[in-house]
Amino acid sequence: MKKKRFLWYLGGLVALVFGIVLDQWTKFLATTYLKGKEDIVLIKNVFCLHYLENRGAAFGIFQGQKTFFIITTLLLLSAALYFYIRLPYTKRFAAFRICTVLVAAGGIGNMIDRLCNNYVTDFFYFGLIDFPVFNVADIYVVLAMCLFCYLAFFYFKEEDYQYFTFRGKKSVQDPEEQE
């Protein structure tokens, strides 16, 4: 049982570090090859690489609110860690664990930018729908939230949520491991 738990934590940590490194590497590439230069058009009038230093959130809200973003990120990371620990160590909850790792990687990736640069480097732009410029960390968070919503509404049953309350059941193992 302890070995399985250790492997879940190790896998989560490896995925988290990989996600953060990938995010930071793409931001480094964006800064190196896009900052101060013309956009790189990948699909005309649809998608391009466009360097942007974002001091706020999506759609330009909360400009210059670094402290707010750091505190919010730390709270979200705490919640993600809580859920990761509380989840049963079964395959049924693996996708939920992936969601928590993606949210954490995205949050940490953007928090690193805010702490080091006072802004977040964004560089993907969908001109077709004039969507705000975004980055890899943002993709992690959006994918995680989409997957979470799918799981919450179509996969898990009400009794599966008992692990997420402060008074709920503690995390359980596979029935075969409890013997």
DSSP the chain: -HHHHHHHHHHHHHHHHHHHHHHHHHHHHHHHHHTTS--EEEETTTEEEEEEEESS-GGGTTTT-HHHHHHHHHHHHHHHHHHHHHS-SSGGGHHHHHHHHHHHHHHHHHHHHHHHHSSEEEEEEETTTTPPPB-HHHHHHHHHHHHHHHIIIII--GGGGGGGSSSSPPP---GGGG-
151 pLDDT more than 60: yes
Residue 67 and residue 178: Cα distance in Å, rounded?
A: 45
What percent of the chain shows pLDDT beyond 90?
Answer: 62
3 pLDDT more than 90: no
**41 in any annotated domain:** yes
**22 in any annotated domain:** yes
Catalytic residue among 23, 39, 130, 138: 138
**30 in any annotated domain:** yes
pLDDT tier at 115 (50, 70, 90 boundaries)?
very high
The per-residue pLDDT for range 21-47, each reduced to its tens digit, is 999 999 999 999 999 999 999 999 999
Partners of residue 33 on adjacent β-strands = none
Task: Report the pLDDT value the prediction gives residue 60, as an integer from 0 to 100.
Answer: 67
159 pLDDT more than 80: no
Give the chain's mean pLDDT.
88
103 pLDDT more than 80: yes
**15 in any annotated domain:** yes
39 tagged catalytic: no
Task: Report the pLDDT value the prediction gives residue 124, as an integer from 0 to 100.
Answer: 97
Range from 20-24, 25-29, 60-64, 121-125 carrying the lowest mean pLDDT: 60-64
138 tagged catalytic: yes
**167 in any annotated domain:** no
Catalytic residue among 23, 39, 122, 160: 122
**88 in any annotated domain:** yes
**128 in any annotated domain:** yes
Question: Structural domain of residue 149, as residue ranges?
Answer: 2-159
Tally of domains within the chain: 1
**120 in any annotated domain:** yes
The average pLDDT across 119-142 equals 94
Task: Report the pLDDT value the prediction gives residue 89, as an integer from 0 to 100.
Answer: 84
